[in-house]
Structure 1
Amino acid sequence: MRLVSTFWITVLALVASAAAAVAAPLVSPREHFGFAIGDDYQLATYTQTEAYFKKLAAASDRMRLVDIGRTEEGRTQWMVIMSSPANLQRLDRYREISERLARAELAPDEAEALAAEGKAVVWIDGGLHANETVATQQLIESVWAFASRDDAETRRILDNVIILFVHANPDGQELYSSWYMRRTEPAKRIIENTPRLWEKYAGHDNNRDFFMMNLRETTNINRQLYLTWFPQIVYNHHQSGPAGTIVAGPPYRDPFNYVYDPLIVTQLDEIGAAMHTRWIAAGMPGSTMKGGSVFSTWWNGGLRTTVYFHNILGLLTEVVGSPTPMEIPLVPERQIPSGDLPLPVEPQVWHFRRSIDYELTANYAVLNYAARHRDELLRQIYQMGRNSITRGQEDHWTNYPRRVEAMQKAAEAERQKLVKEGKLAAGASEAGTEGKRRIPARYFEEYLRRPELRDARGYIVPADQADFPTAVKFVNTLIKAGVCVQRATKDFSVQGNKYPAGSYVVKTDQAFRPYVLDMFEPQAYPNDFKYAGGPPIPPYDSAGWTLAYEMGVAFDRVLEGFDGPFAQVPYGHEQAAPAKPVDVAARASGGYLLSATQNDAFRLVNRLLKAGAAVSWPAGNAGARAGSIYVEESAAARDVLGRDAPALGVDVRRVPEGPMGLKVTLHPARVALVDVYGGSIPAGWTRWLLEKFDFPFEVVYPQTIDAGELRTRYDVIVLVNGAVPPPKRLGAREKAVSAAMKQPRAEDIPAEFRGWLGRLTEEKSLAPLRTFLETGGTIVTIGSSANLAYELGLPVSNALEEVADDGTMKPLPREKFFVPGSLLEARVARGTEATRGLPAKVDVYFDESPVFRLAPDAEERGVRPLLWFASDRPLRSGWVWGQEYLKDGVAAFEAKVGAGRLRVFGPEIAFRGQTHGTFKLLFNSLYLERVEPSQ
């Protein structure tokens, strides 16, 4: 009886507390922050915002505050759920309906009933890019609006929609708002020149991580999107709008990706029309769309683009705005109304509050659309899911541009043959009234419906591949994105191929089929030019990103329906590589072999070296695989291997004796990673990578390099893309490079950060770097930092040049050669320290990367290639215009410079933490190596 009484006392107390909270008056932003959101020269910090959300949640019956995880700097990342009080009482039911309709694993009549019962779920975020301050501040104003307004439209939205207001980057808001507000005199406040990246590792690239999910914030967000809430609309706020406009929004320009459902595109047109109509009706000029901005729907990897491959409508707006009043410039071409810009804006002084009003208006347009089309949105996400399941169960073809081009080429060849044979008049036209050439229908079957061109019914990731732990990481990216994955419970065969138990199976008869295809299949970006013969139009981001290729994962495509002893992995349950116990019984001699093909072997090596174990590369050992890592028997080795090897799933084999002859002993290197004031994104990702794989390193800045005496402090210096400017002799590029290298004045930043200022230069940095090499150091350059090789006078030149009319060598123009971010196949040099553990061929990420030609005497002068393009068709995924120019070009090389070595990698071997297949090219360079005789 006493327990019952205590229970009811507690319940009554909670009810009374809740009633008191609801009865408490709502606090406005002005009352909480001391200023209204959108006031000039004012920004709220994340600490203040977090406190405000908690205060509103305690007072409002329309709002719940949900902790979705920690950020990289340890802050709480909050999601505000806003809806009517009645809906909040049934929140679990509406979440369940949203998930079931998105997964589409139910009959149409049940789906219809759920669509009628359910509520639309709309995601609205802010602050992903912290220097885009409008986005963060509009989130605060929007939460306040829906907590406080009581007009008919607001009530209708709350009755029909569950709104997820999500803070996308708490750490960044704290950095930027605190930086801006640090000056007491408002007119002197500036957003620019923060000392470091606004996301701990990725900075702006935090919106490039949404299929890889390396970052905590990205993982937190995707868990809500694809494993918890499954919203029908995701609205991602950004800035700044194109010059001469106020805001760019949907619909977006072509190309759109061929693998997702066409309903995505048509619905984006609908919602875009609702947004632009509302802006114009409210007297808000300057909204643009389609060709009025650079944004397309091709790329997968951003917060609003990855959702397309999950049958979710992704919205992006880019709006102008700054807490410091700014000018809207006069761009003459944008003063003429058009379908892309219906109502131009006049040049004028622009205040922050007007940007907040545009954003709030856009939010209402989207939410009003969702409220009025609630059941349609729920039906359509179900329909797209069913379409995906059906396509995965039947023969289905995706029509890629290159297949259509091949069809057109074949038809034209036949036409020319008929003309030559006199069977067709030379002037005969088969063009329709629209000017498009028509060809016989039989070409459709011959070129677009050949059986071997079918989309895969599924993919098998074998458990017996060389680096299965990395393959498991790839599988986990799918699982974290809500994909249905199966695991073989015993050995099985499919189409004559045998696979071991533990292999993973990913079938395409599931709602998120577009995402599955996009992670396994090559992208085929269309040839996209401003005009015939003109320069290419760059993609918004990458053109190709096939993650299985980037990570070096082996898999088989299966074109027929198949089954086997497969058990579904529960949604969202990440996998671990199979634990492999290690025999760590004490021995008098011998040791252990690790497979250098496995990336996680380097984590073990770094832990072994830290513990004092002896590690070496065997020069020769009976029964040892090429590229194995030898660990000498010791108590330290037994402790690390026994504890960590099973958890990492790394292959460890006991051997009775060590390597014979010479061996290369490994020692922890003193690694310097060069960064800059403000933060280099490539350096940030490299920092993330080195931390993840337990490499010791120190971040240094140009002033440290310029001071010299580097060899006394470091063994290896890493120069990422963008660290080394082009030589001044390249002339025309010098001005642009100088502008990119601009840094704040020392007197304008706090004293604690002044040691970070500066850039590497020919005048101050080249001599210390040369001395470091000549005295035995190793320098690793990635991407454009290959410029160092030219500065050092090595016998290499740019392979992507041609002779100009004046007889000088000039870079190939884009009309002849252009490679935006794409994956290319490179041949790997065998028997070199730099390429240990790599296969004979590797897919590299190439983004207008340098390619080299070695002089005839290069080998005599200590220069040898590490990677090269052996084919005139190296494209694996993406877009290459003029790829024949790559034939025999060297992508990476190493050179002796005095007693040291320079390793130059043109491709982005550590790109965004995605390119696991080329990580070893960096890892192999980060040890102090000594050649010694075996004992």
Structure 2
Amino acid sequence: MNQRFRYVITLFLLFFLHESQAQTVPSPKDHFGFNIGDDYQLANFTQTEAYFKNMAAASNRTKLVDIGQTEEGRQQFILIVSSPENIKNLDRYKEISQKMARAENLTDEQAQGMAIEGKAVVWIDGGLHATEVVGTHQLIETAWNLVSRKDPETMRILDEVIVLLTHANPDGQELVTNWYMRESKPEKRSLEYLPRLYQKYIGHDNNRDFYIMNMKESQNMGRQLFLEWLPQIMYNHHQRGPAGSVLAGPPYRDPFNYVFDPLMVTGIDALGAAMINRLNVENKPGLTRLNGSSFSTWYNGGLRTTTQFHNMIGLLTEIIGGPTPEEVPLVPQRLIPNGATPNPVTPQKWHFRQSIDYSISLNYAVLNYAARHSDELLFNIYRMGKNSIERGSKDYWTLSPKRIEAINQAYKTDQQKASATQAAASNSSGDPFGWNSRGGGMPVKYYDAVLKDPALRDARGYIIPASQPDFPTTVHFVNALIKNGILVHKATSNFMVASKKYPAGSYVVKTNQAFRPHVLDMFEPQDHPNDFQYQGGPPVRPYDAAGWTLAYQMGVQFDRIQDSFDGPFERVPYGELQVPKGQLATVSAKGGYVLSSSANQSFTTVNDLLKAGVDVFRIAGEMSGAGQGSFYVPAAGKAKEVLEKAGTSYGLTIIGVNQHPAGATTKVSPVRIALWDTYGGSMPSGWVRWLMEQYHFPIQVIFSSEIDAGNLNKKYDVLIFVTRAIPAMPGQESESGRGYTPKEPKPEEVPTEYRTQLGKITADKSIPQLKKFIEAGGTVVTIGSSTNLAYHLNIPVKNALTEMTSSGQQRPLPAEKYYVPGSILRMNFDAAHPAMWGMPTEGDVYFDASPVFKLAPDAAAKGTVKPLAWFATSSPLRSGWAWGQAYLQDGVAAFEASVGSGKLYAFGPEITFRGQSHGTFKLLFNQLYSTSSPQ
């Protein structure tokens, strides 16, 4: 047998082995009993997990990776698909992907070599929003296609691409599918009336968690995205498309975030072109893009959007379809071909399988692009990272609306100094902006005055002192950065920068790193443009929030350093979470211990102490190093044991005292807390439920039917109502009441165990019972639009954001005059009031078209209403967008009202917003204890 013949036989045997392996992988129909996309059929996670395990065991094109547990305890998986040769070398390709994304200590020549050696890494996920069932099912069908197909395109993809097929929400798929399939008759099946949130705590908001990663699923996926694989492309599947279209996709409408590298933006354009071209080649109309949909690239925090701040080409599509056939509706304006929708879809019956087919085409368009441009994608993510490192290493000015306004203002000021004759001549020259220079532009000196002003430079880095009042929360913020793959340094000894001293243990985050866009976004204010439908018209609502600066939300103190600096800094290894080191001072603790009211984890510790039967007191006066309202724990019983654990687990520094603190103290007692929720689940309520668990507050969930039944004081001391719980008074509207509200079925349409959860808070049944509860000594805490309760109870306050019409009627300010979508605003706090203990006199709050009040002239004087927080200036905006913000000045944002023997607390801003606003958690926590008379 000659050598050539043996070579041919070997190739034949390898091909036969490959084919036989591929044939052992069951098709979806063999496994599930139906084809993916069949009408009225859905697969649950148990079935999907088994299928992926079977596929991984049978195919050498796959590797199944367990990335962690979900909040309900299921395992979350990534199915890696590539050629058998690539599967054997995944560690090397992961290493290349990491090095290219971080761009550290690489020359262009080295990067080009690794770009050629490496493979493009593409993330495709599905199921994050579990009722958007196309997502999970296209994931199954995509896996089957990549494992079973042998056509040249698939083989090229397998050779050149590492595909990360990621299940984004196992718990949700199990819940939603089992709910849909519970009906034996297919035509009766429906995705409506799901009884609870499809993520244990936060439902739809699981796509708003990725810059802080509170949830386990977010942490699992974030670890893969930002620490392990760092893909060049991530594709996030969602529903639904705009009415009259099949789907919305890239590129997206403006504004995009100004911290992005332009290569990321144009990378989205390139992938978007590949995707729509593929659909057009296959005669699949109906993709709309740009201003054809509401989706933009401004917001951080989403599974897709956070990747964009890491130089990854983040893709989103929102498609129609589901297991129950539906109609593509007639929307006449969608039928005119234009740049946003060049290939309109016509009204027609739409089946689930069509959505699956579209999704497979889109996935293949992305993967084919990655296969053909693998080296380019790898080099481009390196180039973006290198650009960031260079920008953070020198003087750099990020362009944004406030900078352009500064240029315009400088020019306007000079123009006003000119003579009236010169101004008239300038304005008559046909230049509508008064720019009297060649080419219609301003003289360059106005650019230089702003964009070369040293005071307006971007930061070279941020110093986070270890000496701040709530350092454990600060470390939580640092860990959010670390989870996002940000490079952090820690000071090994005391140091000085810009004539200021900092203690050892302080953290340093420099901007000369690859993910500089994300660093800036977490520390700097977002400068959202004034975005209106037309001049003088209504505003265009942002896709989500307009401003969210996490350091502001968490109350983190930091210094912004504009010049190059260094010190005794050690590099924290990527992904190494920090543990704050607490301290229990026992040397001078004969009298007991003091916990600062400024530290959120003090409340966790107090709850642990109360559970252990240890006495706890609050100090009414100011105490050095601890603040007003701090907690005093006598040195007795289990106190030391619980506090030692708190110092270790929570990172608290606990002060020892020789004697009972001077001044009045009140004994702290636990209370019976109820948190409102509703059938189908409230996301704000779910966030608070999660928050209560984190800080060890025992709570009970309560529904409207229990409230309507009365006798609330027998079971509860405090009731919490998050936004969208209490309805508006007739004729009143609140923008903060917007958002997703689950539909409610008739009782006979849901299983018996859920029927007690049905119903809403109503003015005729619920409000009288709440009034009785407060009058009898109960406490009610309302947040956001649920501060409507104040109006139902005739508290002497009114809406501060109104105007008088020409007919003499009061009406809410129109959006053309006043509009504040989700943004960070600065407020003043009555820090001496017990409800506000632990707060600074000024601080940041998350404000989302939130209620603002004006007190009746004699309300405060009579003592019935006490302002707790207010806007002291005409420009409270810190981050985001606040059109007409001057209307907020002197408005009351929070108050306490006496009702009979009880209290109503009204907090207009979202003080617990998505588990992110740590800086205002104490506004809720302070109301969750009872205190006895001073001792």
Superposition TM-score, scaled by structure 1 size: 0.95
1:171-226: CA deviation from partner (whole Å, max 9, x where unpaired): 00000000000010000000011110000111000000000100000000010001
**Which of 502, 507, 517 lines up with 2:505 in the alignment?**
502
What do you get for the CA RMSD once the two structures are aligned?
2.1
Q: Name the counterpart of 2:514.
A: 511
Q: Name the counterpart of 1:652.
A: 654
Contact 2:66 2:75 survives alignment (8 Å): yes
Contact 1:470 1:599 survives alignment (8 Å): yes
1:481-505: CA deviation from partner (whole Å, max 9, x where unpaired): 0000000000000110100000000
Map 1:32-51; keep pairs closer than 5 Å.
32-51=31-50
Q: Name the counterpart of 2:188.
A: 188
Pick closer, same or farther for the CA change 1:416–1:910 going to 2, 3 Å. Answer: same
- Superposition deviation, residue 21 in structure 1: 9.6
Q: Name the counterpart of 2:216.
A: 216
1:318-370: CA deviation from partner (whole Å, max 9, x where unpaired): 00001000011000000100010011111111100000000000000000000
Q: Name the counterpart of 2:90.
A: 91
**Which of 632, 635, 638 lines up with 2:634 in the alignment?**
632
State whether structure 2 residue 145 is matched by structure 1 residue 159.
Answer: no
Map 1:370-519; keep pairs closer than 5 Å.
370-420=370-420, 422=422, 425=425, 426-430=427-431, 437-519=440-522
Pick closer, same or farther for the CA change 1:443–1:592 going to 2, 3 Å. Answer: same
1:622-673: CA deviation from partner (whole Å, max 9, x where unpaired): 8674332111221221221122223211121111222455422111110000
1:579-623: CA deviation from partner (whole Å, max 9, x where unpaired): 313429995xx2211101001000000000111111111234886
Pick closer, same or farther for the CA change 1:740–1:491 going to 2, 3 Å. Answer: closer
1:875-932: CA deviation from partner (whole Å, max 9, x where unpaired): 0000000000000000000011110001100000000000000000000011122224
Residue type of the partner of 1:834? A
Q: Name the counterpart of 1:338.
A: 338
- Superposition deviation, residue 294 in structure 1: 0.3
1:779-829: CA deviation from partner (whole Å, max 9, x where unpaired): 000000000000000110000001122211100000000001000000001
Contact 2:584 2:643 survives alignment (8 Å): no
SS in 2 for 1:129: coil
Residue type of the partner of 1:467? D
Q: Name the counterpart of 2:3.
A: none
Looking at structure 2, the residues matched to 75 and 195 of structure 1 have their Cα atoms a distance apart, in angstroms, of 20
1:371-415: CA deviation from partner (whole Å, max 9, x where unpaired): 000000001000000000000111100111012112113313423
State whether structure 2 residue 77 is matched by structure 1 residue 78.
Answer: yes
Q: Name the counterpart of 1:10.
A: none
State whether structure 2 residue 823 is matched by structure 1 residue 822.
Answer: yes
Q: Name the counterpart of 1:552.
A: 555
Looking at structure 1, the residues matched to 798 and 381 of structure 2 have their Cα atoms a distance apart, in angstroms, of 53
Map 1:169-318; keep pairs closer than 5 Å.
169-318=169-318
Looking at structure 2, the residues matched to 683 and 22 of structure 1 have their Cα atoms a distance apart, in angstroms, of 50
Looking at structure 1, the residues matched to 188 and 241 of structure 2 have their Cα atoms a distance apart, in angstroms, of 24
State whether structure 2 residue 786 is matched by structure 1 residue 785.
Answer: yes
| Number of equivalences | 913
SS in 2 for 1:304: helix
SS in 1 for 2:933: strand
- Superposition deviation, residue 429 in structure 1: 3.9
Q: Name the counterpart of 1:3.
A: none
Pick closer, same or farther for the CA change 1:419–1:898 going to 2, 3 Å. Answer: same
- Superposition deviation, residue 26 in structure 1: 1.3
Q: Name the counterpart of 1:9.
A: none
Contact 1:127 1:135 survives alignment (8 Å): yes
Contact 1:404 1:448 survives alignment (8 Å): no
State whether structure 2 residue 545 is matched by structure 1 residue 542.
Answer: yes
Pick closer, same or farther for the CA change 1:472–1:737 going to 2, 3 Å. Answer: closer
Looking at structure 1, the residues matched to 824 and 627 of structure 2 have their Cα atoms a distance apart, in angstroms, of 29
SS in 1 for 2:720: strand
Looking at structure 2, the residues matched to 641 and 19 of structure 1 have their Cα atoms a distance apart, in angstroms, of 62
Q: Name the counterpart of 2:9.
A: none
SS in 1 for 2:369: helix
Looking at structure 1, the residues matched to 539 and 439 of structure 2 have their Cα atoms a distance apart, in angstroms, of 22
State whether structure 2 residue 532 is matched by structure 1 residue 533.
Answer: no
Pick closer, same or farther for the CA change 1:721–1:270 going to 2, 3 Å. Answer: same
Residue type of the partner of 2:75? T
Residue type of the partner of 1:893? F
Looking at structure 1, the residues matched to 243 and 805 of structure 2 have their Cα atoms a distance apart, in angstroms, of 35
Contact 2:598 2:838 survives alignment (8 Å): yes
Percent identical: 56
Contact 1:430 1:439 survives alignment (8 Å): no
- Superposition deviation, residue 448 in structure 1: 2.1
Looking at structure 2, the residues matched to 507 and 739 of structure 1 have their Cα atoms a distance apart, in angstroms, of 39
- Superposition deviation, residue 96 in structure 1: 0.4
SS in 2 for 1:560: coil
Contact 1:619 1:660 survives alignment (8 Å): no
Looking at structure 2, the residues matched to 605 and 646 of structure 1 have their Cα atoms a distance apart, in angstroms, of 15
- Superposition deviation, residue 436 in structure 1: 9.1
Contact 1:584 1:642 survives alignment (8 Å): no
**Which of 904, 910, 929 lines up with 1:902 in the alignment?**
904
Q: Name the counterpart of 1:12.
A: none
Structure 1: segments with no counterpart, 5+ residues? 1-14
Looking at structure 1, the residues matched to 55 and 743 of structure 2 have their Cα atoms a distance apart, in angstroms, of 43
1:234-273: CA deviation from partner (whole Å, max 9, x where unpaired): 0000001000000110000000111110111111111101
Q: Name the counterpart of 1:359.
A: 359
Residue type of the partner of 1:725? P
Pick closer, same or farther for the CA change 1:63–1:534 going to 2, 3 Å. Answer: same
Worse-matched range after superposition: 650-659 or 378-387? 650-659
SS in 2 for 1:310: coil
- Superposition deviation, residue 743 in structure 1: 1.6
Looking at structure 1, the residues matched to 755 and 175 of structure 2 have their Cα atoms a distance apart, in angstroms, of 17
Looking at structure 1, the residues matched to 724 and 265 of structure 2 have their Cα atoms a distance apart, in angstroms, of 36
Q: Name the counterpart of 1:7.
A: none
Residue type of the partner of 1:448? L
Pick closer, same or farther for the CA change 1:739–1:210 going to 2, 3 Å. Answer: closer
Contact 1:544 1:877 survives alignment (8 Å): yes
SS in 1 for 2:265: helix
Residue type of the partner of 1:756? Q
Looking at structure 2, the residues matched to 510 and 620 of structure 1 have their Cα atoms a distance apart, in angstroms, of 46
Contact 2:823 2:879 survives alignment (8 Å): yes
Looking at structure 2, the residues matched to 555 and 267 of structure 1 have their Cα atoms a distance apart, in angstroms, of 34
- Superposition deviation, residue 565 in structure 1: 0.5
Contact 1:892 1:903 survives alignment (8 Å): yes
State whether structure 2 residue 645 is matched by structure 1 residue 643.
Answer: yes
Contact 1:621 1:660 survives alignment (8 Å): no
Contact 1:582 1:645 survives alignment (8 Å): no
SS in 2 for 1:143: helix
Pick closer, same or farther for the CA change 1:55–1:422 going to 2, 3 Å. Answer: closer
Q: Name the counterpart of 1:682.
A: 684
- Superposition deviation, residue 862 in structure 1: 1.5
Residue type of the partner of 2:151? D
Looking at structure 1, the residues matched to 587 and 218 of structure 2 have their Cα atoms a distance apart, in angstroms, of 39
Residue type of the partner of 1:870? A
Q: Name the counterpart of 1:759.
A: 760
Looking at structure 1, the residues matched to 734 and 633 of structure 2 have their Cα atoms a distance apart, in angstroms, of 49
Structure 2: segments with no counterpart, 5+ residues? 1-13
SS in 1 for 2:418: helix
Contact 1:825 1:875 survives alignment (8 Å): yes
Q: Name the counterpart of 1:880.
A: 882
Q: Name the counterpart of 1:4.
A: none
Q: Name the counterpart of 1:103.
A: 102
SS in 2 for 1:814: coil
